[in-house]
Structure formats: C-alpha cells, structure tokens
Structure 1
C-alpha cells in the first residue's frame, strides 16, 4: 500500500496494483482500474517513486522468503519423543 493525500486534505492508502493511469493536469489525477479517480497533492514523480518503492519491497520480500524457505530446518524439533507402550494383559 502507498500513502497519498487527497487534494482537499485527508490522507489515505492505496493498493498501487489498482492504478490504471496517473495524469498531471496540473494536479495529479490517479485513475483506478474500476474507473474511480482521486485527485492527490503528491506530484506524479512522487507517486511514481512510491509505486516503484512498493513494488521493489514486494520483490525483495519474496526473495528473502525464498532464501528462508531453502534453509534447512533442524529436524530434531519436529520429531516427537517416543512414548513407551504398556504390554498387553493376559486374561
């Protein structure tokens, strides 16, 4: 999610994957894939930088998680301790 500020003041967060286009007319107008439009205070260059930073962080996190998944985990933690069974009783 990226933080943006509406032209009339309140801030909000936006999923950058929903952005279809952004225009500087001279205010920055962000159009989403569903047609919703937001006029924001941030210049188009700042918006672009935030989207790029967000996407780079997603890729970096995915790479980090892939490295963690490849590291061998200690098997001893997952092996249960043997429980002795009682002998069967004869009748």
Structure 2
C-alpha cells in the first residue's frame, strides 16, 4: 500500500496495483480500475516514486523469503544392489 493525502489533509492508503492511471491538471488525480477517483496533494512524480518504492519493497521481500526458505527436497536414487 502507498500513503496519499486528500486535499482536506486526511491520509489514506491505496493499493497501487489498483491504480489505472494518474493525471495532474493541476491537482493530482488517481483513477482506480473501478473508476473511483481520488484527488491528492502529492505531485504526480511523488505518487509515481511511491509506487516504484512499493514495488521494489515487494521484490526485495520476495527475495529475502526465497533466500531463507529451506531447500526443496530432491529425489534420492536408490543404491544399486551391489552397493548396498
């Protein structure tokens, strides 16, 4: 989630995966995939930077989880009769 600020000063979180488009004219407007629009105080560039940082955090966290996960079990080939 990213945090943005309404024109009245209240802050709220938005799922950046649900942002369909952003535009500034002059206020920055987030248009969500369901058609709902939010006018926010952040600039267009600030919102984009927040979305980029969010996605980078998701990728970094996925890598950390992947690195700390136990190694997958591998199939073990049975020994031949003469090596038992």
Same fold (TM over 0.5): yes
Return 5+ residue gaps in structure 1 as ranges.
73-91
Q: Does 1:34 align with 2:34?
A: yes
Match of 2:61 in 1: 61
Cα RMSD for the two superposed structures:
1.3
Q: Does 1:25 align with 2:43?
A: no
C-alpha displacement of 1:13: 0.6
Note the alpha carbon deviations across 1:8-63, whole angstroms, 9 max, x for none. Answer: 22110111101000001110000000000000000000000000000000000001
Return 5+ residue gaps in structure 2 as ranges.
73-84
* TM superposition score normalised by structure 1: 0.75
Q: Kindly name which structure, 1 or 2, has the bigger radius of gyration based on alpha carbons.
A: 1
C-alpha displacement of 1:7: 1.1
* TM superposition score normalised by structure 2: 0.81
Moved beyond 2 Å, runs of 4+: none
Note the alpha carbon deviations across 1:49-90, whole angstroms, 9 max, x for none. Answer: 000000000000001100001469xxxxxxxxxxxxxxxxxx
Q: Count how many residue pairs are aligned between Structure 1 and Structure 2.
A: 72
